[in-house]
Amino acid sequence: MIDYHDDWHDYLQHGFEQCDVDDLIQLATDANLNQAQDDTVWVQIHAWRALAQLKSTKAIIPLITLFDSADKNEDDWMMDDLPEVIGMIGTDALLPLFAFILDNTHQQSAYLVAASALNQIHKNQPDCRDELLVFYQQYLEQPHHQQKALNGFIVINLLDIKAVELIDEIRQIFTNKCVDLMCAGDLEEVEIKLGVRTQRTTPKPTFEQMSGIKPPNFSNLFDDELNDDEWILTDSFFTRYGRAQSIQNTSELNGFFTAIACAPEMIMPSMWMDAIWGATYAPEWDDIEEFELFNQLIFNHYNQVNQALIEGEYYPLFFKPENDNDNDIVNAWCDGFLRGISLWQALNNDDNAVLGNTLKPIVLFTKTQVLNTLKTLSKTEIKQQQNAITSTVIELFYHFYQKRDSKNPSIVRKTDKIGRNNPCPCGSGKKYKKCCLH
């Protein structure tokens, strides 16, 4: 059976040799495989990974031509894998990558894959630094002014190779205001990282100034559903600090928190916080304010999910389609829910049966299953499965909520119940909902 694994196979041990390169290139670039309805959809990934281990220079140009397909199809596998693949092939890919980036006809995501590939090559072969400096100098003299994200990625690459020699060109690109500040920060921050400045002379730009996103008003949190500003702001944090193994967006986070809330035993924040980013990765925050803002966002989101489930007013945060006649896009939410389930303790047979019933409509929309069974269903049938997610999740929550409640002894309340908007009795000065209600 052909399937996908985050961990790469040892393809050479499976017998792949240089004589297989032409066939592997054909498989790696076969657009029909990318749209396959069965397990052969993974053939492309295995083919280009085998080419990487063979260090096939013949595959460089065909693989680079896939960058535009990755953008067009929003193909996460290509965007994640291809930089590493080309990085393994090595420095023979530098000139084709330079030519690709200098060409102004590509889309943003395709450029970012190319820039990431350059970074991977340097990580694998640091001796190519001089060649990279020559290219980056040429690019910075005539950058693509509209590609701010690409320019931000290139600044990150320059920091990685400690390109202090190009500080004048770096300063000019910031002066021209064609750099996404969310990538590597503003000019003063870059100068400090390169060692040409010891401290700031101007206040560090706020998150709103760098991103153009106004932080939400937290005064109404817990009283309303997650608003658009909070959704966009949370997504921007995942875009900036996330990695391939991290939760990718707010919809996936909502599914994750829903699974945490449904758990048979309470899962502590110290455990689920690590799972948000991936077990082996933790972001390096630019400052404490961003860290605190992100924590405030996710804890309020976590509390909203719990409160909505308790009050019977829960609705999952699915992506809405551009066409109103299309069904919701639920894949990310379902991936998040399964990530949360992975933190649960072992269940007995009866509880496993309840969980299995909940997972039936959810697994249809995960990355593997969506390419198989889901494609055989009509729009109406897909909508029915999506609707089933909400009802079965609520049933799952109450199943374990009642069991948890029965384990706790009755408590006689000697004081009036504390309202969510009342001052917290701990004396912090915050509202109860913002403090010990967590």
Which residues, at least 6 apart from 347, have a Cβ–Cβ distance to it below 8 Å?
Answer: 264, 355
Q: Do 183 and 149 contact (CB within 8 A), yes or no?
A: yes
User: What is the reported pLDDT for 437?
Assistant: 45
Which residues, at least 6 apart from 193, have a Cβ–Cβ distance to it below 8 Å?
Answer: 159, 184, 185
Which residues, at least 6 apart from 354, have a Cβ–Cβ distance to it below 8 Å?
Answer: 395, 396, 399
Which percentage of the chain shows pLDDT scores above 70? 79
Instruction: Please state, in angstroms and rounded to a whole number, the distance separating the CA atoms of residues 394 and 125.
Output: 52
Res 426 pLDDT > 90:
no
The residues pairing with 423 across neighbouring beta strands, listed in sequence order, are: 431
Buried b (16+ CB within 10 A) or exposed e, 263-277: bbeebeeeebeebbb
CATH code given to domain 228-407? 1.20.120
pLDDT digits (tens, 9 = 90+) for 378-399: 888 888 888 899 999 999 999 9
Q: Give the CA angle between residues 356, 300, 317 to the nearest 5°.
A: 45
User: What is the reported pLDDT for 7?
Assistant: 62
Most confident of 38-42, 108-112, 214-218: 108-112
Res 377 pLDDT > 80:
no
- For the chain, what are the domain ranges? 11-206, 228-407, 413-437
Residue type, 24: L
Res 1 pLDDT > 60:
no
User: What is the reported pLDDT for 432?
Assistant: 42
Fold of 11-206: Leucine-rich Repeat Variant (1.25.10)
Q: Do 287 and 230 contact (CB within 8 A), yes or no?
A: no
Burial class (CB in 10 A: 0-12, 13-18, 19+), 8: middle
The larger pLDDT score, comparing residue 194 to residue 329, is at: 194
